[in-house]
Amino acid sequence: MQVMCLVVHGRSNKDIMHDLGLSERKVKLQISNMLPKLQIQDRTQAAIHAMKTGIVHLGAVL
């Protein structure tokens, strides 16, 4: 959920990696695993889906 929140806020994989203390590979893996589950194609669609469904709110802060 933290990765999705940061994606919604426009953070890059490298930014997410530094923010959460994960490897860049782990960040990419988490994002790529989310896409088919949400039946979407890319991280932009994932961010839109997360906001529309209330999974993440723009005001959410980690």
The two three-digit tokens of residue 34, written as one number: 């989310």
The total number of structural domains in the chain stands at: 1
Q: Name the nearest CA neighbour of 13 among 37, 32, 41.
A: 32
**Which CATH number is 33's domain given?**
1.10.10.10
* pLDDT tens by residue, 1-56: 899 999 999 999 999 999 999 999 999 999 999 999 989 999 999 999 999 998 88
Residue 42: inside a domain? yes
The pLDDT value recorded for residue 1 is 83
Answer whether residue 39 is part of any domain.
Answer: yes
Domain that holds residue 37: 2-52
For 27, what's the count of Cα atoms within 13 Å in the CB-facing half-sphere? 21
Q: Which has the higher per-residue pLDDT, 11 or 59? A: 11
Domain assignment present for 61: no
In a domain, 62, yes or no: no
Question: Letter for the amino acid at 13?
Answer: N
Crossing angle between the packed helical segments 24-38 and 43-52, to the nearest 10 degrees:
60
The predicted pLDDT at position 55 comes to: 86
Does a structural domain hold residue 30?
Answer: yes
pLDDT band at 61 (very low <50, low <70, confident <90, very high): low
Distance CA 62, CA 60 (A): 7
Give yes or no for residue 60 having a pLDDT over 70.
no
